[in-house]
Amino acid sequence: MLAKNLWAVTATWIALSSMPAFAGDREEALIEKAIAAYGGEALLNLQTLRVNDTYKSFRRGQSRSPSETDQVTYVTSTTIDYGKRRKSAQSIGGVYVQGLYVQHSFYDGATGYQLHHSAKTAAERPRLGFSRADRGLSWRLDIALVKLLSEARADSSYKGTGVHRGKPQQLISFHPEGYPEFTLHIDEDTGLVSKMTRPDAENGGQYVYVFSDYQKQDGFTFAADTYVMRRGKPDSLTATRTLDFNIDIDAAYAVPATYGTPPKTLDFAEMSVQKLADNVYHVGQGGAFSIFIDAGDYLIASGGYHGLKDRLDAVQASLGTTKPLRYQIVTHHHDDHIGGLREVADLGVTFIVAEDHVEAVRAAAHTELPDERFLIAGENNRYANGLVQVVDIASWHADHNLVTYIPGAKIVFSADHFFTFKETGAPDPAEMYAQFRTALEGYGLDTQHFAAAHSGRILSREDLIHASTGPFKELACPEGWDFCQN
């Protein structure tokens, strides 16, 4: 009996070991089908790729009003040098107060760089490698994803079948080093990628990229249209797209000889509690700060960025007190600036908020907040017997933005209005600073010191006067950026 069992085990092992690696074969066959659909050998041997996109982005959590969705246009040029392992991203954003928002980053095969064209500076960014140098812009392009899949096939995994617009799909996931995990939905008939999904690192949700309007050019195939959803809601869509294959893209990796180094920036890596005046404290780290006012029996705070409870703990520890936080001033409704409200909602805090932002605060708190937990701020209100004054200043960034003023110390605390990360010097003159100054003076405020939600540096009235005094330099397309000249 023992011999018979041993023979059965041995026969089974021989049979299993002689079977093909089915999962590997399935992935390999699917990858080869996709490669063939997008250019075959030409795709495998592709040396350089440039994609110029215009796309419309939908801004909810950063819109001017919580009841509306803003639309912003971006014009971008992304280059990938597969042979030399270089990648770049050049983009201009929607029109804000002062022209175009310009970004340019690249990895030259050895070092990452960030160029600031309006200031004519360039800085090395050691953490910016090949995978992230394009800020994810190439993830919007199906042919670039298939090229990446061909290089990362060892990290691929078959995920079964699905349906897209009534057509059967084969799903394959892959996770190249330095990238998120991508899952491609590949059409069984054509081998074209109909959809890509990837995790949304911020909230555990998912991004979905839908590809359509396939074009053929120079022996390659690509989708001319990409529609992106985040958590099931519209995020962006392509307006125009042009591709160039195997061209000279060296200009995207050039640092002009006349460019200098950017000014030194402050490092707020550690939590700090800075006393600005009697009973007034600026607390935070990184790009997240709050101001706390000691009102005697309780604290008042403004600045609701993530980590709010940590900042509250830090100021209480510094003061050696357990005084409760009674009032939290909500500057505005943007996702980042209400991200910490959940941390203090269970403490019984009353929120001082613009009426239009009440529902956004309720959603951010993740707990039941009755009406009595809100104080509706008008254009100009005083609290704690005049210790704190709150004024509502509209800006290009938000229709309502509550600014905290401490009259006894002549201190202003604002979010997204006026700040800098530079060690020295005022922010460069800009129209938005002029608007901020005009609004403050319109309320008759005697302002001398300026704290902010994004920086630990306190600016002076002289800094505001400099930053708000023209002429204001109009931001335009950098020299040589032919893709955005119109």
pTM of the model: 0.88
Same domain membership, residue 369 and residue 331: yes
Can you give the pLDDT at residue 479?
Answer: 85
One DSSP character per residue, 83-101 reads: TTTEEEEEEE----SSB--
Can you give the pLDDT at residue 273?
Answer: 98
- pLDDT tens digit at each of 486 positions of the chain: 434 443 443 333 333 333 333 338 999 999 999 999 999 999 999 999 999 999 999 988 889 999 999 998 999 999 999 999 999 999 998 655 555 688 999 999 999 999 999 889 999 999 999 999 999 999 999 999 999 999 999 999 999 999 999 999 999 999 999 999 999 999 999 999 999 999 998 777 899 999 999 999 999 999 999 999 999 999 999 999 999 999 999 999 999 999 999 999 999 999 999 999 999 999 999 999 999 999 999 999 999 999 999 999 999 999 999 999 999 999 999 999 999 999 999 999 999 999 999 999 999 999 999 999 999 999 999 999 999 999 999 988 899 999 999 999 999 999 999 999 999 999 999 889 999 999 999 999 999 999 999 999 999 999 999 999 989 887 778 888 988 865
> What is the per-residue burial (b if ≥16 Cβ within 10 Å, else e) of 11-32?
eeeeeeeeeeeeeeebbeebbe
CATH number of the CATH domain containing 290: 3.60.15.10
> What is the distance between the alpha carbons of residues 486 and 467, in angstroms, rounded to a whole number?
29
CA angle 46, 49, 52 (to 5 degrees): 155
Among the listed residues 325, 315, 335, the one whose alpha carbon sits nearest the alpha carbon of residue 275: 315
* Structural domains of the chain, count: 2
- Which domain, by its residues, includes 308? 272-467
Summarised one tens digit per residue, pLDDT across range 76-135 is: 999 999 999 999 999 998 655 555 688 999 999 999 999 999 889 999 999 999 999 999
Summarised one tens digit per residue, pLDDT across range 432-486 is: 999 999 999 999 999 999 999 999 999 999 999 999 998 988 777 888 898 886 5
Same domain membership, residue 417 and residue 359: yes
Same domain membership, residue 228 and residue 124: yes
Residue 169 lies in a domain: yes
Same domain membership, residue 300 and residue 222: no
Q: Is the peptide bond before 471 cis (omega within 30 degrees of 0)?
A: yes
Residue 15 lies in a domain: no
Summarised one tens digit per residue, pLDDT across range 190-211 is: 999 999 999 998 777 899 999 9
Can you give the pLDDT at residue 59?
Answer: 86
Q: Crossing angle, helix 142-151 and helix 22-38, to 10 degrees?
A: 140
Residue 479 lies in a domain: no
Same domain membership, residue 67 and residue 192: yes
| CA 334 centroid distance within chain | 13
Residue 266 lies in a domain: no
Burial (CB < 10 A; 0-12, 13-18, 19+), residue 200, is middle
